[in-house]
Structures are given as structure tokens and as C-alpha cells.
Amino acid sequence: MKRLTVDAMNRLSDEELMRHIANDRHAAFDTLYSRYAKRTGGFFLRMLAYDREKAEDLVQELFVRVWTNRNTFKAGRSFRTWLYAMAYNLCKNEYRQETVHLAYSEECLKRGEETVEPFDKLESEERYRCLRRAIQALPQEQRDAFLLHYDEELTIAEVARITAAPEGTVKSRVYAALDTIRKEMNKLK
Amino acid sequence: MNDHELKRKELENADILELLHEMRNEENSSFTPRECRPYTKRERCLVSPYWLVAASVIGFVIGIAVPKGMPDVHDNALVQERNGNSAVSIADNSAGKSIASGDVNLKLLRTH
């Protein structure tokens, strides 16, 4: 396999980069990392109650796993599904260790009570806070399905595969999540 | 739950989904990941200072300490044996060192 320039690497798909990574190409790994580090970091933030340090640790852990498992990635498979399956498992480990504190959502709740303006006039940062609070208040399974589907834009089938749930269940979870978030947001109107 | 129902719900909540995407883009762009180079671990391990120290100690023991650490009495015994002296007389000449105590070990010296 011939060596590629950084520009050429940037033009490759995730799956093609994984082929290079399987051949120990460090530059391919760096390209994939720069493509996904911020994105997965944001995902960990939203999944783990905005614990920034934990999110930074997990991004590192996730990409160490990408490197160590590079030879188990099968051709024809979607890299994103594979990556988010590992990311989701890391989140589940955190849930099991009960290290996820929802202190942030408490703070957000207080701020919401102080707010007197109608929802559509709130500054965008204030609206983000309300949305964060509503997402954090969701039951864990709904939150996982909601964030994987709408935030990370994975298909219902991919979310079903990652969370090991039937597709119908995933649809019900995201439907219920949308309902709950709407109700939470309406409380501010 | 069918696709049509879900689609309808998404349209009803389009403003929330739009807000979610805005928030995601902002949070993702403000996240600063640490450097991650898992492929350097192996190389780092091979040139680790611990390996260098360990190699130096082993080199010192094999190359310097063992040959130069031979007691003088053994060198004397070797010379005396070459001069035709018997083991007993060598022991006598070796400042009170006896063959039985192992201080004068001719077998060792012959193979040295």
C-alpha cells in the first residue's frame, strides 16, 4: 500500500482510512482522530452530564481502542456504527460505575426557575441550557436512543444494533423522548 | 410504532431538533480533545530509560565485574600451578588459604 499525503488522507472515507490504519499507518489514524475527536467529545459530554474531564478521558480511551482493535474492523462495515458502538459501551461502563452525576441538570433547573422571559425570546445559551436540562431528565434508554439518532445522526437500524434493542423499541424510545422534551420545554413558556 | 407516526412527531418538534443541532455544533466545536497517539507506546517502551539502565547494569556485570572481580589468591594459584607446584603447596603459599575452604580452586582456574 503506497504512502499518501495528508491531503490525500483527508479525502479518504473512514473505512478506507481504517484499511490504512490496519497497516499501521499513523497518519491515517491522526486523520481519523482529527475527524472524530471533537464530535465524539461532544457526544460524551451530552451522554455523561457534561463532565468535561470524563469526556476527554473517554475520547482518548475510545481512540486507543480504535488503534488496538484496528485489525478486527471488518471491510464492508460502517466505521461510524463501529465507533459509536464502542463509545456507547464506554458510556454504559460509566453508568454501571455510577460516576455520572446529574449536578448540572440541578443547576439548569434553578436557572430555568429564575427565567421570566418567554421561551422564544430567550438567548440561545439560555435555550441550550433548557434543552440540556430536558435531555438530562430523560430516562437513560430514551436519552441514549435520542442522542444516537438525532444528535449523532445514526439511523434507527444502526441505533438498534448499537443498543442491542429491536428497531420498534428504538422508535418508541425516540418518540417518547421527543414528547418528554417538548413538555419540559413548554414549562418555560 | 410505525415510521409515519415518528415522522409526524419529528415535524411537530422540528424546532427542538434544530436547536439540538445548533447546540451540538457549538458544543462539539468548543470541545478540545487531548493529543492521542496510541501507536507511540511501543516505541517509547523500547527506548525507555529503564531499559537503558538495565542494559548498562547487565553489561557492567558481564563485561567488567566478573573478570576483574577474581580474587588475587586465584591468580597466585594459577601462576604457581603453571610453575609445577602441587595443590597442597599452592595452598600453603597462599597466605593461609586452604583448598578445602574453596579459596584456592584449581579446577575453576584451569577452565577459566
Q: What is the pLDDT of residue A37?
A: 96
pLDDT of residue A116: 43
> Nearest to residue A148, comparing CAs of A138, A139, A158?
A158
Per-residue pLDDT of chain B (112 residues; tens, 9 = 90+): 788 999 999 999 999 999 999 999 999 999 999 998 898 865 555 556 677 788 888 888 888 766 655 555 555 656 666 667 665 555 555 555 555 555 555 555 555 4
Contacts A86 to B, Cβ<8 Å = none
Residue of chain B nearest A168, judged by CA positions? B1
The chain A residues in contact with chain B (CB within 8 A) are: 24, 26, 29-30, 33, 37-39, 41-42, 45-46, 52, 55-56, 59-60, 63-64, 67-68, 124, 127-128, 131-132, 150-151, 168, 171-172, 174-175, 178-179, 181-182, 185
Domain edges within chain A: 8-101, 102-189
> What's the CATH code, domain A102-189?
1.10.10.10
Q: Which residue has cell 442522542?
A: A147
- Is a pLDDT exceeding 70 seen at residue A120? no
- Give the B window 8-47 contacts with A, CB below 8 Å: 9-10, 12-13, 16-17, 19-20, 22-24, 26-29, 31-34, 36-39
Indicate the CATH number of A8-101 among 1.10.150.130, 3.40.50.720, 1.10.1740.10, 1.10.287.110.
1.10.1740.10
Q: b/e per residue, A75-114, with b = 16+ CB within 10 A?
A: eeeebbbbbbbbbbebbeebeeeeebeeebbeebbeebee
The predicted complex's ipTM stands at: 0.83
Query: Which residue's entry shows cell 415518528?
Result: B6
